């Protein structure tokens, strides 16, 4: 609340609730009945929902200020376009209210729902609250009203509720709907086809509910998938209720989705991957990676050892054959030295050929480490695993020689472990046959995690003792540069130019 000289009037933003006058708060009624001026917005037709809600509390001697929108769609001949027309309108409306406030009158601006939740009142608030004493009276939002009318929990426990305007681009809606637990999409009307399309693309259409004019005359609720787009007004919302204890949507056959978790925590997880993890009935994977997936009530988790990839894939496919929706989790990108190959290899054999399998990409360890160091992968590069568990060292050595001879930057995965301690030294010595000893090498360990370490050394000084299984190496080409930026001991960065010199 802003303290101003008492000679001026007081501004109130009054939340009226979702439509039923009986859902107005006691404080809202007190403010309206005591106000000198009651202001409300309306379209050009002159009908105001806000005034209708508060009508029983208006006095004959109330001064009424009807604030009529100049446009209600983005079609306008205003030189500033829709935004320009609305900005001019809000400035003029604020100036009208300021006249009353300067005269010492109390002004109550009516707002459906809550005054600071997708409400036109906030435009008055931003223009007047720093000049006059102001109080905002909260109201029941349409979100709460819609959930109440559906009679379904909106969020429980640690679920996340996302509130979206239907005016967002369909691609953006799809990403956000796929990644959240529960959601409410506002401002339907003309946006309904895009919202419905986004829900379908996000795999959430079967769960979506529709609420129209909650608590008002003409209220309608039901499954959103069954709503005629031509019948949808602006005052309607799409609701994705809580997933906890909800009956799983009928999906026909089970399926396996191989999900890339990225190199570390939730900041590296894509919205699509987040959504699939939330929708899965079973999570299968190496125990370290399963532990990175948030625990959800009713979801079954199946952790296992890191060396049983084929058995893990078969187990996941068997669950899917039983009609289960299974997420097989993998660090980084599942198609880069990870679980996607193992799953697809087993899925290509009987009796799993008919089981649907999808692969969702993730941020790779190489790209994550490169971003921390600068841009060492700015030109052509090769990715090689130093692990000889699944291929002979002779094959690895030949590939390293070929990539080095071609002057490619190298991203080296799986460089060492407790049982493999010699490969890094062998790789270093081999690469020194083709690269100068001062070639930059990036050592990225636990990138994105709590023990992140990114160091830049020179190839001739690469110490195998400083490398373990959680480290990825990026070895520069002859063109890769390492530069220290800033004064003194500034940050050293590495990049590989996009242009290659002519030979």
What is residue 376's predicted lDDT score, i.e. its pLDDT? 97
- Return the H-helix or E-strand segment holding 403: helix 393-405
Q: Is pLDDT of 252 > 80? A: no
Sheet of 481-484, strand order: 374-375, 492-495, 481-484
Whether 32 and 21 have beta carbons less than 8 Å apart is answered as no
- Pick the closest to residue 68 from 52, 92, 84 (CA basis): 92
Give the C-alpha separation, 216 to 414, whole Å: 62
Please report, rounded to a whole number, the percentage of residues in the chain having pLDDT higher than 70: 95
Which class in CATH covers the domain with range 255-360? alpha beta
What is the DSSP annotation of 181-208?
SEEEEE--GGGHHHHHHHHHHTT-GGG-
Give the C-alpha separation, 386 to 424, whole Å: 8
Give the C-alpha separation, 471 to 484, whole Å: 23
What is residue 5's predicted lDDT score, i.e. its pLDDT? 46
Strands (E), 264-373: 282-286, 300-304, 325-330, 357-360
- The reported pTM is 0.79
What is residue 488's predicted lDDT score, i.e. its pLDDT? 66
Residue 205 φ/ψ, nearest 5 degrees: -60, -40
* Cα–Cα distance list, 184 to 3, 17, 314 (Å): 36, 17, 38
Give the C-alpha separation, 241 to 7, whole Å: 49
What is residue 248's predicted lDDT score, i.e. its pLDDT? 54
Of 74-83, 302-311, 447-456, minimum mean pLDDT range:
74-83
pLDDT tens digit sequence for 471-503:
999 999 999 999 988 766 778 999 999 999 887
What is residue 306's predicted lDDT score, i.e. its pLDDT? 80
What is residue 112's predicted lDDT score, i.e. its pLDDT? 96
Residue 294's pLDDT band, with cuts at 50, 70 and 90, is confident
How many whole angstroms from its chain centre is CA 197? 18
- Return the H-helix or E-strand segment holding 258: strand 255-260
* Cα–Cα distance list, 113 to 21, 25, 90, 119, 273 (Å): 11, 11, 20, 8, 34
CATH 1.10.10.10 describes domain 11-140:
no
Q: What is the mean pLDDT of the chain?
A: 92
What is the DSSP annotation of 39-73?
EEEE-TT---HHHHHHGGG--TT-EEEEEE-S-SS
Q: Is pLDDT of 214 > 90? A: yes
What is residue 416's predicted lDDT score, i.e. its pLDDT? 78
Evaluate the omega torsion of the peptide bond into residue 311 and state whether it is cis, within 30 degrees of 0: no
What is residue 486's predicted lDDT score, i.e. its pLDDT? 78
Give the residue range(s) of CATH 3.30.950.10 domains in the chain.
144-240, 369-495
**Phi-psi group of 374: left, alpha or beta (phi > 0 → left; psi -120 to 50 → alpha; rest → beta):** left
Give the residue range(s) of CATH 3.40.1010.10 domains in the chain.
11-140, 255-360
- Pick the closest to residue 466 from 487, 443, 450, 438 (CA basis): 443
Q: What is the CATH number of domain 369-495?
A: 3.30.950.10
Please report, rounded to a whole number, the percentage of residues in the chain having pLDDT higher than 90: 80
What is residue 73's predicted lDDT score, i.e. its pLDDT? 62
Q: Is pLDDT of 251 > 60? A: no
Q: Locate all alpha helices (DSSP H) within 22-169, ordered by sequence.
A: 26-34, 49-54, 81-102, 121-128, 142-150
Q: Burial, 200: exposed, middle or buried (Cβ in 10 Å; 0-12, 13-18, 19+)? A: middle
pLDDT tens digit sequence for 321-350:
999 999 999 999 999 999 999 999 999 999
What is residue 405's predicted lDDT score, i.e. its pLDDT? 95
Whether 366 and 383 have beta carbons less than 8 Å apart is answered as yes
Instruction: Select the more confidently predicted residue: 81 or 274.
Output: 274
Q: Is pLDDT of 1 > 70? A: no
Most confident of 40-44, 207-211, 262-266, 465-469: 207-211
Q: What is the CATH number of domain 144-240?
A: 3.30.950.10
Residue 2's pLDDT band, with cuts at 50, 70 and 90, is low
């Amino acid at each position: 609340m802003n303290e101003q000289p008492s000679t001026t009037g007081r501004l109130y933003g009054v939340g009226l609730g979702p439509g039923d006058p009986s859902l107005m708060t006691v404080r809202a009624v007190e403010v309206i009945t005591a106000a000198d001026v009651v202001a409300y917005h309306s379209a050009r037709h002159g009908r105001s929902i806000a005034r209708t809600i508060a009508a029983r509390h208006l006095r004959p001697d109330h001064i009424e200020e009807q604030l009529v929108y100049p446009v209600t769609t983005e079609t306008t001949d205003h030189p500033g376009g829709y935004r320009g027309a609305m900005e001019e309108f809000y400035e003029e409306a604020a100036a009208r209210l300021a006249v009353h406030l300067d005269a010492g009158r109390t002004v109550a601006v009516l707002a459906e729902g809550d005054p600071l939740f997708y409400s036109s009142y906030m435009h008055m608030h931003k223009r007047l609250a720093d000049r006059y004493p102001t109080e905002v009276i909260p109201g029941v939002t349409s979100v709460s009203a819609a959930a109440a009318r559906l009679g379904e929990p909106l969020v429980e426990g640690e679920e996340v509720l996302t509130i979206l305007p239907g005016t967002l681009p369909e691609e953006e809606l799809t990403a956000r709907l796929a990644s959240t637990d529960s959601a409410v999409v506002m401002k339907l009307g003309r946006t309904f086809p895009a919202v419905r399309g986004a829900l379908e693309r996000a795999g959430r259409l079967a769960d979506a509910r529709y609420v129209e004019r909650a608590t008002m005359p003409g209220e309608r609720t039901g499954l959103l998938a069954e709503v005629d787009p031509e019948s949808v007004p602006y005052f309607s919302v799409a609701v994705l209720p809580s997933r906890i204890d909800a009956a799983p949507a009928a999906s026909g056959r089970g399926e396996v989705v191989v999900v890339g978790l990225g190199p570390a925590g939730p900041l590296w997880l894509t919205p699509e991957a987040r959504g699939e993890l939330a929708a899965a009935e079973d999570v299968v994977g190496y125990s370290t990676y399963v532990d990175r997936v948030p625990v959800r009530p009713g979801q079954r988790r199946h952790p296992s050892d890191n060396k049983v990839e084929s058995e893990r894939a078969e187990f996941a496919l068997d669950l899917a054959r039983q009609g289960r929706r299974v997420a097989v989790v993998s660090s980084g990108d599942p198609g880069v030295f990870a679980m996607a190959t193992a799953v697809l290899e087993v899925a290509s054999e009987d009796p799993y050929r008919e089981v649907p399998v999808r692969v969702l990409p993730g941020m790779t360890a190489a790209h994550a480490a490169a971003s921390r160091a600068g841009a060492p992968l700015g030109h052509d590069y090769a990715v090689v695993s130093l692990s000889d568990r699944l291929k002979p060292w002779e094959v690895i050595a030949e590939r390293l020689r070929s990539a080095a001879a071609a002057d490619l930057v190298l991203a080296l995965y799986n460089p060492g472990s407790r049982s493999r301690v010699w490969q890094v030294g062998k790789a270093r010595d081999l690469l020194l046959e083709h690269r100068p000893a001062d070639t930059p090498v990036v050592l990225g360990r636990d990138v994105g995690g709590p023990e992140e370490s990114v160091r830049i050394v020179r190839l001739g000084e690469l110490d195998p003792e400083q490398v373990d299984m959680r480290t990825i190496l990026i070895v520069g080409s002859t063109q890769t540069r390492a530069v220290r930026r800033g004064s003194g001991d500034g940050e050293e960065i590495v990049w590989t130019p996009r242009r290659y010199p002519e030979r």
